[in-house]
Structures are given as structure tokens and as C-alpha cells.
Chains A and B, each alone.
Chain A
């Protein structure tokens, strides 16, 4: 019996060693392609897809994530899954030279690098990181000049908004990006970190949760009441908009919090726009939308 066990252990070790050897052999470290050597690009992140098109690498994009909608031409490209469900087989079948992945997709990164495909790791962060990422992507795809031009344009537009908003009063704002319909349960709001918070501040608003150093705050009723926002901004993706007939009911969901100034003064604003929730090259336009909502007189 013991011999049998020993024999089978030895056999398994032998097989395992063989597998390791095989995988080591296929792990040829491909020369990192760069610039216009990169002819086929896949993006698994909508914000990065927009950046690729903005810097002029769009014609080389051969596959996108299942959440991509902009620019409209991406809807005709093959969809290869997204953050939690990347379809490795389809990615490989499109023979990409470069795949833009989200920073947390470590398994995918390993699978791609093992077969010699280079990856560009992307992560959502602050507003300043958007233009920085555009420059980095442009450098990688050989579109540095155009990327610099696009990034500088965004930075200029944002600075314009900041300058215009600077002398205006800063309404204390609750920026909500998710909750259950017709109820205040499951409410998610922007904390003091991340691009939504940065956009709100650039637009001349003061985030009520600026002191909570998280990107997403699961705010309770008590926290909302205690924060006493002057304005409640609810933002969603364009496709996540409340149906027209539901907007009144969704505003009524706030009615029980009568002591909140935004509720009492009717300053609950819905902004359903991908330019706000996708931190891509349209962030300045998104920031302008927020600024207009906060300061309708100054920004019209």
C-alpha cells in the first residue's frame, strides 16, 4: 500500500515537472512591441477605449469590452467580455499586440504575457490621472503628439471651469451614483477620493463626504441627514437613466428627509451622462455638466 502511494506520488511529481517545463518553454518573453509596431489593440475598459480613439489609435482597435458604447463605432467591434468575465479565447483569436486591462485583472495579465501579448494596465483614479493616462497610452501606441495635444486641451478646459467657478459660492453637494429605485436604501455616494470627487470640486462644489477618504461611501440615512447637503446630484450612466415617467417618483424618494436643505429647496438634480461616469477624454465636458447643475446662472 505504502509503495503504491510512493509510486503514485513519484508519478505525479514527474508529470508536474514535465508540465512546468512545457510552460517554461512557451513562456517566451516576447520583445515588447511599441509605437506603430502595435497594429491590433483590444481594450477591456470603456474609459481607455475612448482614450485610444481620442489619441488616434482608434482604427487599430479590434475588440472592446461588453460595456463599451463610445465612440459609436465600437458597438460594431467584437466584444470580449469585461472586468470579471474577460473571454481569453476570443481575445487570443483576435491576435492582439496590445491589450488594455484593468489593474485588478492579474490572472488575465499572466495569461496574456505568457503567450507574449503585451498589456497596458489601467486603473480608475483621480481627475489628474485621466490626462496622465491619455499621455501614457499615446506614448505606448506611438501617438504621443496627438495624446499630448488632447491631454493639454482637457487640462485647459478643466482649468477654464475651475477659474469660472472659483469666485462662486461652493454649495455643499451630495453626489449619489447609485441607490434602489424609489427608496434611499443601498445608497452609494462619492467620498473624498476619485475622479467624481475631483470633478465635483473642479465644478465649484464642496463634497459633503470630502472627509471620508474612500471613492464610494455607502451612506446611511443618518449620514445624509447629518451632512445637510445644499444640492443632491444624482448621476448614472446614460443607459442607467430613470425613465421619464419615473423622475417625479424618484424625487419623492427624498421627501422624507425634509430637514435637508437640498430637499427643502428642490435642488435635486439628475445627470444621466456617460461623460460624467466614464473618466475618459470627455471628463471636461462632464465637469461642465456638473458645474452647470451647481451654478445654473454662471454657466449658461
Chain B
């Protein structure tokens, strides 16, 4: 079977899964709503609670889950390919810790700004992730032609620790209720309650996915090692730079929507590789679509399992992701 046919089959299969979950997920929630009333045009929207629950609460939340899941899963694939390390996640290189610091500063000091309908916390989170990426990138490029993945990894891990320390420092000034809210932000939450954060994150996500599409073949070559890749005509430095910046952009966009939702970026890439093999031309689209479906389902579980209470989705992904990841570690190759 040619790669092209396998690609079409993979995209069709995982695409159907993703679309199926996105269509079905808004039908279920912590409250019972009548679908007939949701789509009843004779009731004004402002009076129609069922329609508001569907269109203001559930649909944006489902779409946020799909978008964030796709971004985290795909950037997980990119980071693992770039660092040639199966344990790499979108959070390994400090992007999410930078975003978390931004968000927590905004929560603690109660910043009250808004830009195009986006409130302070997601704005600050995105700014924090950009700052973190900038620092790590500058460090990794400082003394090398192109990027040194070793420096990238060490700088990223160090920045993670540094930002975490800064978070604790800022927390020290937070009032009690703020400490609770920052903790909740760190758990991850997809209840965006409007479409604006999704629309705002769309351009960055599109750019990232476009670069991802170009990266599939370079990542396949890189998996042989930088030297072999270079000898086969790949501009390694350019590919690494593209991979780092695009995956960081995707991670920053995803974190600003849903917070640092853990485990999606590591378990989905591995699961998908088990299903379709190591070829990035298949792994990347499959991971994006499967990540979308996975996070939508996790969020569905989060908002129904303890109804009428709703859990933050990060709790569910970690509960499912943790044991799975341990199994992955001890499993025979």
C-alpha cells in the first residue's frame, strides 16, 4: 500500500473518530436538556436555557477540547521527534511553566485587562509562554550553529524549575481564594464559556499545523540522527528551528485556552505510534485527530462522572494518563 493511501485511510479513520466525538459530546452534560428545545427557533435565544446550555456552555467547551487536544498531541509528536526522546512532552522545554507563571501573576494581582474579548489570564499565559520560548531558544542558539538539542533540553528543564520557583514566590503574595484559583488553573479546564478564546488562538494554531505538515518528512530523517539526516540532504538546523518554534507556538496557544492539561501530549503520540507505526507523515495527523477525540471524551467524563459537580479535565487525563504511562514504561518492546 502506498503512503498516500495509508495517509488517506489514517486520516479518514481518526477523522471519523474525532468528528463523531465532537458531534456527540455536546449532547451529554451535567444537566438534562431537550434537543428539540435547543433547536426550536420559535423561542428567542435569550429565553431558551436549553439552547444557551448547548451553544454557550457545551459547544465551545467541546471545541476547546478538540483544539487543545489536537495541539498538545501534535506538538508532543514534534517535541519527541526533535529531541529524539520518547519522554519529551509539550511541557518539557518550559513553555507551559512560562505560561503558568504568566497566568498566576495575572490571577494573583487581579489584572483586569481584555483584548478582543480575551481576558487577562489567557493573555498573560500566552505572553509567558512566548517569553519562555524566547529565552530557551536564545540559550540553545547562543554557542552553536543551529540548535543544540542537548542545550535545548537542559535549558528547558532548568527554565521549568526556575519558573516553578517563581510561581511559588508569586503564590506567597496571593490571598487565600487566589491560591485556590491558581491551583484550579494548573489542573486545566476547558470551560471557556465563549468562542472568542478559540477564535483568538486559531491563527497561531493554523500556522503551527502548517509547519507541522512540512515537518513530517524532516522528522523522519531526523530520527536517523542529525548526521545521517544531514547527509541525506536535510537542512537539520532549519528543521530543528522550525520544529521547536512551531511546537512551542502550538503549546502556548493550547495552554492559554485550557491551562497545562497533562498527559495528552505524551500518551497520544505513543498510542498512535503503536497503531500506525513510526512514520511521521501518518503519526502527525493521526495524533492531532486522536488527541482531539481523547480530550473531548476526557472532558465529557469530567463534567458528567460526579454530576452535578464538574471536575477539571486535567484530573481525568492524569488519572487515565498516569497508569497508562507506567504501563508504557515497563512494557516489553
Interface residues of A (CB under 8 A from B): 67, 83-85, 177-186, 188, 211-212, 214, 216-223, 225-226, 228, 236-237, 240, 242-243, 246, 249-250, 256-259, 264
Which of B14-22, B42-50, B212-220, B272-280 lies at the interface? B42-50
What are 23 A-to-B residue pairs whose CB atoms are below 8 Å? A67-B175, A84-B179, A85-B172, A179-B181, A181-B110, A181-B112, A214-B309, A220-B57, A222-B57, A222-B310, A223-B308, A223-B310, A225-B53, A226-B31, A226-B49, A226-B53, A242-B112, A243-B112, A249-B112, A250-B112, A256-B56, A259-B47, A259-B51
List the A side residues contacting B110 at CB < 8 Å. Answer: 181, 240
A249→B194 CA distance, assembly (Å): 16
List the B side residues contacting A221 at CB < 8 Å. Answer: 56-57, 61, 191, 193
Max chain B C-beta neighbours (<10 A), residue from A83, A186, A250: A186
Question: Shortest CB–CB separation between residue A93 and chain B, in angstroms?
Answer: 21
Chain B residues 217-232 with CB under 8 Å of chain A are none
Contact flags B160-180 to A (C-beta < 8 A → 1, else 0)? 000000000000100111111
Contact flags B31-62 to A (C-beta < 8 A → 1, else 0)? 10000000000000111110111001110010
List the B side residues contacting A181 at CB < 8 Å. Answer: 110-112, 119-120
Least CB separation from A180: chain B residue: B121
A259→B30 CA distance, assembly (Å): 18
Q: Is the CB of A180 within 8 A of B57?
A: no
Q: Is the CB of A220 within 8 A of B119?
A: no
Q: Is the CB of B309 within 8 A of A226?
A: no
Q: Is the CB of B184 within 8 A of A218?
A: yes
A177→B53 CA distance, assembly (Å): 23
Q: Which of A84, A222, A250 contacts B30 (CB 8 A)?
A: A222
List the A side residues contacting B194 at CB < 8 Å. Answer: 256
List the B side residues contacting A259 at CB < 8 Å. Answer: 45-49, 51-52
Counting CB contacts under 8 A, is B114 at the interface?
Answer: yes
Q: Is the CB of A182 within 8 A of B112?
A: yes
